[in-house]
């Protein structure tokens, strides 16, 4: 699928190389660009530098560094109040009810690549009430 020069950019926070590749390929096949970092600290630095650059956040929960995916998503929403958030997790699903942000989605590992693209698209396509 061709990428128009201005394809939407998804910020990916993931430190496992095999899942990084799977996620990046799935997003690319769907026509998205992606930028991947391995820690919450790096993700927040990018968001604070230019939060308008990113149209969605896709984040693992347990990543390198001190911060979790829960922390990254809260900071992303402080900077861009409606940014779509998709969490990926193998173990922490039951924490989503207390730690997730509203109107986010949770992908339980293992997931199929199509679930990533559908999740990001669903949230971007959500009818804008505003």
The answer for residues whose C-beta is within 8 angstroms of residue 77's C-beta and 6 or more apart is: 83, 85, 101
Closer residue to a copy of itself, CB minimum distance, 7 or 46 = 7
Contact, 9 vs 34, CB < 8 A?
A: yes
CB of 11 to a copy of itself, least distance (A): 14
Closer residue to a copy of itself, CB minimum distance, 64 or 99 = 99
Closer residue to a copy of itself, CB minimum distance, 65 or 74 = 74
CB of 103 to a copy of itself, least distance (A): 6
Class of residue 126 by CB neighbours under 10 A (exposed 0-12, middle 13-18, buried 19+): exposed
Give residues in contact with a copy of itself (CB under 8 A): 1-2, 4, 6-8, 18, 22, 25-26, 29-32, 74-75, 77-78, 81-82, 93-94, 96-108, 110-115, 117-122, 124-130
User: Could you tell me the sign of the dihedral formed by the alpha carbons of 100, 103, 107, 108, in that order?
Assistant: positive
């Amino acid at each position: 699928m061709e990428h128009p020069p201005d394809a939407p950019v998804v910020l990916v926070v993931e430190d496992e190389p095999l899942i990084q590749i799977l996620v990046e390929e799935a997003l690319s096949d769907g026509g998205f660009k992606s930028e991947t970092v391995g820690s919450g600290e790096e993700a927040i630095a990018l968001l604070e530098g230019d939060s308008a650059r990113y149209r969605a956040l896709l984040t693992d929960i347990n990543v390198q560094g001190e911060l979790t995916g829960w922390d990254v998503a809260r900071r992303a929403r402080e900077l861009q109040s409606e940014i779509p958030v998709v969490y990926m997790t193998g173990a922490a699903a039951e924490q989503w009810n207390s730690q997730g942000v509203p109107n986010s989605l949770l992908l339980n590992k293992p997931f199929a690549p199509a679930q990533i693209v559908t999740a990001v698209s669903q949230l971007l396509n959500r009818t804008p009430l505003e």
